[in-house]
């Protein structure tokens, strides 16, 4: 597996990969991927196997709090799961965060995304206390706007 930063040549393949992520990940538009490659490439690693895109992570460093990185989407191709792809992508962002002196990487997942819960906790993310609990997962009400309850996960950097 090779990991590289998102670039314009990979943007279309990353969009296609994200299209396989329903119901938990939805592809954004081509101009969104253009923008991620243009402005946020260093926190948008892409995993390739034999030249094919098998995983991608879209993350951004906050402008409001430059010591935070938000991960918007993580997706591994269904044929390549449980092989450490997502872990390797998160490691790249974790390393980048350390280089920048960031304190926190965080992300959200849908309340019923048990696979994501297992992945984030195994990578050292903590499920931040929210407003209620579903199947042992703490959920923050309206985190992403009215009616958009989310499980929030954070990884504190030393
Ligand atoms: C969640 C997702 C990104 C994980 O990707 P992955 O490449 O399979 O994850 P990794 O192989 O790096 O897994 C790391 C660890 O997470 C845990 N894990 C990952 N998937 C798991 C599953 N289905 N069941 C239980 N544990 C799981 C395991 O502890 C795993 O380590 P192990 O395989 O050595 O036991 C992937 O399932 C996916 O793309 N899902 C669809 C999109 C999605 O839900 N994205 C997240 C949105 S918040």
Residue nearest to atom 21 of ligand 1 (CA): 115
Residue of 82, 92, 127, 155 to test ligand 1 pocket, by largest number of atoms within 8 Å of CB: 82
Q: How far apart are CA 109 and CA 116, in angstroms?
A: 7
Q: Which of 58, 79, 63, 83 lies closest to 5, judged by CA?
A: 58
> How confident is the model over 108-141, as pLDDT tens digits?
999 999 999 999 999 999 999 999 999 999 999 9
What are the structural domain ranges in the chain?
Answer: 1-102, 108-158
* Atom in ligand 1 nearest the alpha carbon of residue 110: 48
Q: Which CATH number fits domain 1-102: 3.40.50.920, 3.40.50.300, 3.40.630.30, 1.20.120.1200?
A: 3.40.630.30
Q: How far apart are CA 73 and CA 128, in angstroms?
A: 18
pLDDT of the residue at 57: 98
pLDDT band at residue 44 under the 50/70/90 scheme: very high
pLDDT of the residue at 90: 98
Mean pLDDT, the chain, as a whole number? 97
pTM of the model: 0.97
Residue nearest to atom 28 of ligand 1 (CA): 119
């Amino acid at each position: 597996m090779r990991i590289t930063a998102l670039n314009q040549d990979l943007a279309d393949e990353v969009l296609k990969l994200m299209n396989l992520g329903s119901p938990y990940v939805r592809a954004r538009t081509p101009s969104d991927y253009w923008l991620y490659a243009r402005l946020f490439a260093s926190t948008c690693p892409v995993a390739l196997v034999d030249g094919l895109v098998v995983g991608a992570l879209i993350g951004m460093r906050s402008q409001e709090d430059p010591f935070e990185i938000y991960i918007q989407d993580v997706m591994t191709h269904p044929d390549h799961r449980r092989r450490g792809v997502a872990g390797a992508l998160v490691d790249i962002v974790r390393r980048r965060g350390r280089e920048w002196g960031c304190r926190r990487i965080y992300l959200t997942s849908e309340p019923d995304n048990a696979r994501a819960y297992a992945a984030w906790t195994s990578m050292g993310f903590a499920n931040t206390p929210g407003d209620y609990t579903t199947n042992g997962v703490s959920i923050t009400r309206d985190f992403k706007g009215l009616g958009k309850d989310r499980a929030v996960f954070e990884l504190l950097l030393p």
